[in-house]
């Protein structure tokens, strides 16, 4: 299991979702979507505790406030984080390891966040599901279905310093957003992550930098 880290109090999901950085990120995504029709993104970081899940949840809230549907998928094998406190009966592992994902099986795996346009798939993730021989085909089928239903799909991934899962996930999804935490993210871990990302075919949306105070 991951260590438990605490973000500064001002980084509540509600306050962060209304911040200039997240609003700017939403605008950037909408512009990209208008130009390139991108819908699915992996959210990763170099180090544990950088604030990935806070950014995922806040971005989902801000984007959904425009009247668009969002799906959050927990893809972190080391932690089941859920700022919305919404349980899910199934997981990404179930969708990648069983039969080919269908609209019905995906609907069974999702839970709705009340009074929002946000759904979640939040069950525990097995790291082996991201590297099994069928992972690429299963992820392609999963993305085909969810991208026909949702306007934005956010994979809440692990930190790169937790092992190979973050790189495997990023390669499967193809689009990535990096979360960094000023005066907290480890420099060596950031350098290693950037080297790894340069070695695969991936679209980098950019980064979100959270202050550590």
Predicted pLDDT of residue 3 = 45
* % of the chain exceeding 70 in pLDDT: 91
Q: In this structure, what CATH number is given to the domain that contains residue 88?
A: 3.40.50.300
pLDDT given for residue 13 in this prediction = 67
Contact present, 159 and 50 (Cβ < 8 Å): yes
- Angstrom CA distances, 52 to 48, 57, 83, 103, 208, stand at 9, 9, 11, 27, 9
Ranked by mean pLDDT, the top range of 1-5, 99-103, 118-122, 197-201 is: 118-122
Judge whether 91 lies within some domain.
yes
- Domain membership flag for residue 124: yes
The CA distance from 163 to 121, in Å, is 22
Q: Looking at the 3D structure of the chain, how many domains does it have? A: 1
Range of the domain at 185: 13-210
Task: Examine residue 187 and state whether it is found in any structural domain, yes or no.
Answer: yes
Higher-scoring residue by pLDDT: 33, 209: 33
Cα-based torsion angle of the residue sequence 167, 39, 37, 29 in order, rounded to the nearest 10 degrees? -90
C-alpha span between 138 and 130 (Å, rounded): 10
Q: Report pTM.
A: 0.89
Least confident of 6-15, 72-81, 154-163, 173-182: 6-15
Residue 30 burial by Cβ neighbours in a 10 Å radius (0-12, 13-18, 19+): middle
Q: Please, which pLDDT band fits residue 7 given cuts at 50, 70 and 90?
A: very low
Distances (CA, A) of 33 to 26, 68, 153, 212: 10, 12, 12, 31
Is 5 part of a structural domain of the chain? no
d(CA 141, CA 146) in angstroms, rounded, equals 9
Q: What pLDDT digit, counting tens, does each position of 105-158 carry?
A: 888 889 999 999 999 998 888 888 888 878 888 899 999 999 999 999 999 988
Give me the pLDDT at residue 77, please.
Answer: 82
């Amino acid at each position: 299991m991951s260590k438990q880290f605490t973000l500064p109090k001002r980084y509540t999901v509600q306050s962060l979702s209304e911040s200039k950085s997240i609003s700017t990120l939403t605008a950037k995504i909408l512009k990209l979507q208008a130009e390139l029709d991108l819908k699915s993104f992996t959210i990763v970081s170099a180090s544990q505790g950088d604030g990935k899940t806070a950014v995922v949840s806040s971005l989902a809230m801000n984007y959904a406030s425009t009247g668009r549907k969002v799906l959050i998928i927990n893809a972190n094998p080391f932690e089941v984080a859920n700022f919305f406190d919404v349980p899910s009966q199934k997981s990404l592992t179930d969708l990648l390891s069983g039969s080919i994902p269908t609209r019905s099986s995906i609907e069974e795996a999702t839970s709705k966040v009340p009074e929002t346009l946000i759904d979640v798939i939040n069950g525990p993730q097995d790291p082996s599901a991201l590297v099994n021989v069928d992972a690429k085909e299963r992820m392609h089928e999963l993305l085909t279905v969810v991208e026909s239903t949702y306007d934005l799909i956010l994979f809440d991934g692990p930190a790169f310093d937790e092992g190979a899962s973050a790189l495997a996930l990023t390669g499967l999804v193809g689009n990535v957003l990096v979360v960094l935490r000023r005066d907290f993210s480890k420099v060596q871990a950031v350098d290693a992550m950037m080297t790894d990302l340069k070695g695969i075919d991936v679209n980098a949306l950019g980064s979100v930098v959270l202050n550590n105070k």
